[in-house]
């Protein structure tokens, strides 16, 4: 999952493949400094309207919106929706996504790759406090 305030905000249409099934971001533009390739879920793909390859996907121009673009939109949204907790940030969705990836796959290695973490320890911090059943009955010794 890409980081919202930089990696997502800076996306250009050239980062997507023709079929809009994945996005590929060069390592020079991500925190980990490693190339990232992420699948695009169908529900997002349906919302995409492709523009010029050099255009930012949000601004529709070669220049992206400012650093606080998502933060400002999120603050406005939260004011209209008081049921959203005050502590909920845009980055909270990245944490929720991490937990969901782990629940679906059960793989800390897949989680690490999806999140672009350089070490498993960083990925594990996203799962602290999560109570996941790790053992199945068949894992237990037989009497």
Q: Which residues in 36-51 are b (16+ Cβ under 10 Å) and which e?
A: bebeeeeeeeeeeeee
User: Quick one: 48 and 84 in the same domain?
Assistant: no
Beta bridge partner(s), residue 22: 39
pLDDT at 15 over 90: yes
User: Quick one: 9 and 49 in the same domain?
Assistant: yes
Indicate the pTM of the whole model: 0.78
The whole domain housing 108 covers 80-130
User: Quick one: 9 and 62 in the same domain?
Assistant: yes
User: Quick one: 92 and 57 in the same domain?
Assistant: no
Decide which of 37, 66, 95 is a domain's last residue: 66
pLDDT tens string 78-130: 999 999 988 999 988 988 899 899 989 989 999 999 998 888 888 888 887 66
Q: Which residues in 114-127 are b (16+ Cβ under 10 Å) and which e?
A: bbbbeeeeebeebb
């Amino acid at each position: 999952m890409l980081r919202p305030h930089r990696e997502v905000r800076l996306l250009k249409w050239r980062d997507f493949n023709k079929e809009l099934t994945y996005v590929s971001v060069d390592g020079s533009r991500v925190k980990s400094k490693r190339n990232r390739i992420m699948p695009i879920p169908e529900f997002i793909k349906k919302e995409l309207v492709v523009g010029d390859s050099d255009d930012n996907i949000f601004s529709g121009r070669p220049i992206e919106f400012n650093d606080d673009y998502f933060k400002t939109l999120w603050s406005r949204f939260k004011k209209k929706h008081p049921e959203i907790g005050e502590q909920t940030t845009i980055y909270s969705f990245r944490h929720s996504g991490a937990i969901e990836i782990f629940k679906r796959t059960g793989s800390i290695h897949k989680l690490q790759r999806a999140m672009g973490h350089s070490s498993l320890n960083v990925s594990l911090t996203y799962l602290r406090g999560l109570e996941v059943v790790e053992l199945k009955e068949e894992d237990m010794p037989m009497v």
